């Protein structure tokens, strides 16, 4: 790889959204004949950077150079005209049209004022042949698998004067064989002179395909590295924004040790999963949750934490394996089933999947209980207020009254309302997906203390967080996830931040 002028150079890109600094002075370089991966946790600014490059957003300051010339694409179309093409995870093609048409629509070969279908089909076959694909191009696109559809999307781009190809999470719905096929295509295109920007959450795939890696964190540029010069462990550290030496190798939290020492009225195994899995979502895993357990799920973004939670709560149906509740095999295929079995679930997406901002705090708290009771057995207002007030008190939700709307609460207090909602149903098991995200440090502490309290009372808690230190501080055991599979379970001495990192970096 010669260090000539980069085909794309982004300098000091800054983008501010109301209240959020999405990108602050980010630099990015992309060269011909290379596959470049952008890595970063949630909110790192990966997608914002891509959107600036492809003209979806306009940067507030900073410059983009294409082959040394300053550009400022103001729409995806403008970017395409410059030779910057994107293939999204959701294939943006028309399933009702033929493969050939999807490649050529908008630039069909014409003959005597009409579309020359023969030429179009022939040319499509030629373009696909470049990708080593040999299919009937006259069939409708819907006939083919997602993998083929993605190749067709790439083929559409290739026909024009493409210089830069951006692949946004292209592998997330592909199986192993398909990924391999896609990688062959990517390598071929790279060798043909294209610059490829590859975005993925899969660590191993990054190391398989990328020549160079740029790491972002919280909208800031952390560094640009050659892949071979950046060990996995270091990459993870950079993504989390810490130096390796910062990771202590001891568990250091007094409180938790106390908690586990006092250990709890043992209520036996509450829930266990055997070979539970769902294709395209998470590989089959085993899991055991006992009363008083706080089982932490640790992993990078996209490692399958949320997918696992959704499977256990019945939001996504498992396509293999069983769930046992208190030793009895139980079919959990809807959130309602899960609720009846005594499971509560706080979603990571508090705003959209959890809190009803227009309802009062009381109504928000009563919701799950009412659902469990059925619509007919209505809870009297007095009873509702009693339950709500008691929970508001015991969780320390800061509000003048239960009749205020939930929208008036801070993030941390909203999170407590979510907790209260499930506690009202008196659950055995609580699944908490990122309960500490987006709330201030004080509120985080309170939430974590609550979790420990609950576990002392014999509840089983599944705790998900992208902050490894939080997971360790709260949990009695930690399950480590990577690339949509559970790869290890750590406890006791092994349960440290560096332990988790080594486990993730070490592969399966």
Partner 1 sequence: MKTKSIINSRDIPMLVVMILFVLMFGVGSVMFRGFFSMQNFLNLFIDNAYLIIMAVGMTFVIISGGIDLSVGSMLALSTMVTSSLLEKSHWNPVCVILIVLAMGVALGLFMGYLIRKFDLPPFIVTLAGLYFARGLCYVVSVDTIAINDGFWQTMAHGQINIIGNNFISPSVIIAIVVLIAGIFISRSTKFGRTVFAIGGNEQSAVLMGLPVARTKVLLYAFSGFCSALAGIVFTFYTLSGYALDGSGMEMDAIATVVIGGTLLTGGVGSILGTLFGVFIYGTIQVLIVFQGTLNSWWTRIAVGFLVCVFCVFQRILESRGTKEKRKDTSAKAEKTPVKG
Binding site for partner 1 (CB under 8 A): 76-77, 80, 92-97, 101, 105-106, 108, 114-115, 132-136, 138-140, 142-145, 147-148, 156, 175, 177-178, 181, 184, 188
CA atoms within 13 A on the CB side of 267: 17
CB of 181 or CB of 260, closer to partner 1: 181
Taking the C-alpha atoms of residue 468 and residue 471, their distance in angstroms, rounded to an integer, is 5
| Closest separation in Å from C-beta 114 to partner 1 | 4
CB of 66 to partner 1, least distance (A): 18
Measured from the CB atom, the residue of 61 and 75 that comes closer to partner 1 is 75
Query: Which of 442, 436, 502, 507 shows the shortest CA–CA distance to 475?
Result: 436
179 or 395: CB nearest partner 1: 179
Q: Name residues whose C-beta falls within 8 Å of residue 463's C-beta, 6 or more positions apart in sequence.
A: 294, 295, 296, 297, 432, 435, 451, 471, 474, 475
Least distance in Å: CB of 121 to partner 1?
11
CB of 187 to partner 1, least distance (A): 9
CB closer to partner 1 out of 180 and 246: 180
Q: Least CB distance from residue 145 to partner 1, whole Å?
A: 4
Min CB(203)–partner 1 separation in Å:
24
CA dihedral in degrees (300, 303, 308, 311; nearest 10)?
140
Cα separation, 416 vs 434, whole angstroms: 13
Strand order in the sheet with 343-346: 343-346, 429-433, 460-464, 294-298, 477-482, 485-491
Structure tokens at 360: 């009062």
Q: How far from 288 is each of 272, 370, 462, CA to CA, in Å? A: 4, 29, 10
- Count the Cβ atoms, other than its own, within 10 Å of residue 169: 17
Q: Among residues 80 and 337, whose Cβ is nearest to partner 1?
A: 80
User: In whole angstroms, what is the distance from residue 454 CA to residue 432 CA?
Assistant: 12
- Quote the least distance from Cβ 81 to partner 1, whole Å: 8
- Determine which helix (DSSP H) or strand (DSSP E) holds 23, and give its type and residue range: strand 20-30
Contact yes or no for 85/154 (Cβ under 8 A): no
* Residue 486: strand, helix, or coil: strand
Closer to partner 1 by Cβ: residue 115 or 233: 115
CB of 135 or CB of 505, closer to partner 1: 135
Q: Nearer to partner 1 by C-beta: 70 or 132? A: 132
Strand pairing partners for 215?
Answer: 39, 223
Backbone angles phi, psi at 62, to 5 degrees: 100, 165
Whole-number minimum distance, CB 95 to partner 1, in Å? 6
């Amino acid at each position: 790889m010669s260090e000539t002028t980069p085909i794309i150079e982004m300098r000091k890109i800054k983008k501010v959204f109301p209240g959020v600094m999405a990108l602050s002075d980010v630099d990015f370089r992309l060269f011909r004949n290379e596959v470049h991966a952008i890595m970063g946790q949630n909110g790192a600014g990966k997608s914002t950077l891509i959107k600036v490059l492809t003209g979806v957003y306009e940067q507030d300051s900073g410059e983009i150079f294409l082959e040394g010339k300053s550009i400022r694409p103001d729409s995806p179309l403008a970017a395409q005209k410059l030779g910057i093409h994107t293939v999204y995870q959701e294939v943006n093609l028309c399933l009702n049209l033929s493969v050939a048409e999807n490649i050529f629509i908008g630039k069909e070969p014409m003959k005597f004022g009409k579309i020359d279908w023969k030429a179009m089909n022939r040319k499509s076959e030629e373009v696909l042949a470049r990708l080593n694909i040999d299919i009937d191009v006259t069939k409708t696109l819907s006939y083919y698998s997602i993998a083929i559809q993605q190749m067709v999307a790439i083929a559409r781009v290739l026909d024009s004067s493409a210089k830069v190809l951006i692949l946004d999470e292209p592998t997330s719905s592909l199986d192993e064989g398909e990924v391999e096929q896609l990688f062959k295509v990517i390598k071929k295109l790279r060798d043909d002179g294209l610059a490829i920007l590859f975005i993925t959450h899969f660590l191993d795939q990054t190391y398989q395909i990328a020549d160079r890696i740029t790491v972002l964190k919280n909208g800031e540029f952390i560094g640009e590295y050659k892949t071979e010069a950046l060990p996995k462990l270091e990459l993870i550290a950079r993504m989390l924004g810490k130096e390796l030496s910062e990771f202590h190798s001891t568990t250091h939290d007094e409180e938790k040790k106390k908690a586990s020492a006092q250990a709890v009225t043992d209520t036996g195994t509450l829930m266990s999963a055997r070979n539970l899995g769902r294709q395209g979502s998470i590989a089959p895993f085993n899991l055991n949750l006992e009363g008083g357990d706080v089982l932490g799920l640790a992993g990078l973004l996209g490692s399958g934490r949320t997918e696992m939670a959704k499977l256990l709560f019945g939001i996504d149906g498992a396509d293999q394996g069983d769930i046992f509740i208190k030793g009895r095999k139980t079919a959990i295929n809807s959130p309602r089933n899960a609720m009846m079995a005594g499971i509560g679930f706080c979603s990571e997406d508090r705003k959209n999947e959890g809190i009803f901002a227009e309802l009062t705090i009381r109504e928000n708290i009563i919701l799950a209980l009412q659902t469990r009771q059925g619509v007919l057995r209505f809870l009297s207002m007095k009873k509702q207020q009693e339950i709500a007030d008691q929970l508001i008190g015991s969780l320390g939700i800061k509000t003048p009254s239960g009749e205020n709307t939930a929208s008036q609460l801070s993030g941390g207090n909203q999170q407590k309302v979510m907790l209260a909602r499930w506690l009202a149903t008196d659950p055995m098991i609580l699944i908490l997906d990122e309960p500490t995200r987006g709330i201030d440090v004080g509120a985080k502490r309170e939430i974590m203390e609550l979790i420990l309290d609950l576990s002392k009372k014999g509840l089983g808690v599944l705790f998900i967080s992208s902050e490894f230190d939080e997971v360790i501080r709260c949990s009695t055991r930690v399950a480590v996830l990577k690339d949509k599979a559970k790869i290890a379970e750590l406890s006791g001495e092994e349960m440290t931040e560096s332990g988790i990192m080594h486990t993730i970096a070490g592969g399966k």
